[in-house]
């Protein structure tokens, strides 16, 4: 048994003009509102930086926090249509690499069967 997760990589942009209207505590609140460490608030520079965008789960938490602070246009997050992350988690019986290899072999066999059926039409 394995779990597979497909997720588009996000494009994350912080509206610097709106960010400038927030105080340090509000910036920190925005940073910690997003699970997974997506954002980092640098107290020295005052910047809100994207730390690990591949970890973002499209849960909307950071947008809800921005809305709560009255700054709905602070952060824009959209899925990138040309790049995604595909994660395989195994149970330990097989390493993830072997799971992928076997799955691709099964897919290849099924595509060959389909091609054979289409050739008969």
Mean pLDDT is highest, among 55-69, 72-86, 104-118, for: 104-118
Query: Residue 1 — very low, low, confident or very high, per pLDDT cuts 50/70/90?
Result: low
Task: Note the pLDDT of residue 46.
Answer: 87
User: Which residue, among 54, 49, 50, has the nearest Cα to 83 in the 3D structure?
Assistant: 54
The pLDDT, as a whole number, for residue 109 is: 97
CB neighbour class for 61 (10 Å; exposed up to 12, middle 13-18, buried from 19): middle
Q: How many CB atoms lie within 10 A of CB 65?
A: 19
CATH number of 2-90: 3.30.70.20
| pTM, entire model | 0.66
Q: Which residue has the higher pLDDT, 107 or 86?
A: 107
Half-sphere exposure at residue 57, Cβ-oriented, CA atoms within 13 angstroms: 9
pLDDT in tens, 64-77: 999 999 999 999 98
Please state the length of the chain.
121
Residue pointed to by tokens 């005052």: 46
- Render pLDDT for 4-54 as a digit per residue (tens, 0 to 9): 888 888 888 899 999 999 999 999 999 888 777 788 888 899 888 887 666
Domain ranges of the chain: 2-90, 91-121
User: Given this model, what pLDDT does residue 54 score?
Assistant: 64
Give the β-pairing of 39-42 and 75-90. unpaired
Q: Could you give the C-alpha distances from 16 to 32, 72, 113, in angstroms and in order?
A: 18, 13, 54
At residue 90 the predicted structure's pLDDT band, cuts being 50, 70 and 90, is: confident
Return the top range by mean pLDDT from 53-57, 59-63, 66-70, 91-95: 66-70
């Amino acid at each position: 048994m394995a779990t597979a997760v497909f997720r588009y990589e996000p494009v994350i942009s912080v509206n610097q003009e709106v960010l400038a209207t927030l105080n340090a505590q509000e910036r920190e609140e925005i940073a910690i509102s997003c699970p997974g460490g997506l954002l980092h608030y640098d107290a020295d520079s005052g910047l809100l930086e994207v730390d690990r965008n591949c970890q973002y789960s499209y849960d909307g938490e950071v947008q809800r926090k921005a809305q709560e602070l009255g700054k709905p246009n602070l952060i824009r997050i959209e899925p990138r249509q040309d790049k995604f992350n595909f994660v395989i988690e195994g149970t330990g019986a097989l390493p993830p690499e072997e799971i992928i290899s076997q799955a691709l072999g099964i897919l290849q066999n099924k595509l060959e069967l389909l091609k054979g059926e289409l050739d008969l039409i």
